[in-house]
Amino acid sequence: MNLQITCIPGDGIGPEIVAEAKKVLVKAGEKFDFTPVFTDILMGGASIDVHGVPLTEEAVAAAKAAEAVLMGSIGGNTTTSPWYKLPPEKRPEAGLLKIRKELNLFANLRPAFLYKELAGACPLKEEISRAGFDIMIMRELTGGLYFGERRTVEENGIRKAIDTLTYDEKEIRRIAIKGFDIAMKRKKKVTSVDKANVLDSSRLWRAVVEEVAKDYPEVELEHMLVDNCAMQLVKNPAQFDVILTENMFGDILSDEASMVTGSIGMLASASLNDTKFGLYEPSHGSAPDIAGQNIANPIATILSAAMMLRFSFDLDKAADEIEAAVQQVLKEGYRTVDIMAEGCKQVSCSEMGSLITERL
């Protein structure tokens, strides 16, 4: 079976970490009887340098023709790179916004998993970090406050800014279905987060989530107010499985959840549309400060590739084994510089990729 995968190596450490994820996918394919077929496209700064724009129509077409997209990350040093002297719509990040829109990626998934071996990096109290946690934050990505009508006006000499938060039931239903589908592949619990004590949009959110829940009798549903969720994430993160929430709440909570893991180089992410298609990328940026040195941590990208196998190709077993190989390498004490700890063995980006490939 061929898997058609478009790759966006991108900028900074992007090409280094994507190369390692490709290595792991090829090996997983040998073991689980699939062949990844990679087509590389340019995006971000790399595309600006060649084509003058951060994403060409040809690149969009290549992404659409694939079954999934695997991305490194894009962008450069925002103070010194000439890319940031360009108007906003020509800068690297405009490519990312465009591809998300073109591919209709409305569901953003960010796992926050605390590896036992990296518990020392968790900023929470030891009794909390010892219990570990494995959370999937599911954030609506194309609606809500960030996409509502906005304007700034002046009334009687006083400036006033207005942003609007709108959701219709279709937008809520499609993300809720994704959330429950993903919970079915995990511990079968959904915590739907809203502010239903204040906002109409949250009351509709809650009602539609409850309607969708009826189709998933095996999944336990609970509702939680966003302010309480922010507290619970640092007090008792082990209580969560899937956190399902709207755009702005998800933006804030997913960053909070990733920070409690303490390791930016370990965090994967996925953005999905209503088919099996998805764009998979690490949560971190292009780390221009360490680019080209072969020291970046490729694990977030490798785990993003595992998510791709799970969610776009239903190759759950292969995904499980990649995750287990990552854990095994950590258990053996291998670390890249960002997660280095006393008594461990420091390895380069490519060595980490090879170690994970060998353990598969």
Is 356 within 8 Å of 346 (Cβ atoms)? no
Contact pattern from residue 329 through residue 358 relative to ligand NAD, giving x for each residue in contact according to CB under 6 A and a dash for the rest: ---------x--------------------
- Residue of 168, 227, 274, 316 marked catalytic: 227
- Positions in 284-323 near ligand NAD (CB under 6 A): 284-290, 296-297, 300
Compute the least distance from the CB of residue 181 to ligand NAD, in Å.
24
- Positions in 87-106 near ligand NAD (CB under 6 A): 93, 96
- Residue of 40, 84, 90, 146 marked catalytic: 146
6 binds ligand NAD (CB under 6 A): no
Compare residues 194 and 251 and give the one whose CB is closer to ligand NAD: 251
- Residue of 195, 216, 241, 280 marked catalytic: 195
- Positions in 64-83 near ligand NAD (CB under 6 A): 73-76, 78
Is 251 one of the annotated active-site residues of the chain?
A: yes
278 binds ligand NAD (CB under 6 A): no
Residues that bind ligand NAD (CB under 6 A): 13, 73-76, 78, 93, 96, 264-265, 281, 284-290, 296-297, 300, 338
Catalytic machinery residues = 146, 195, 227, 251, 255
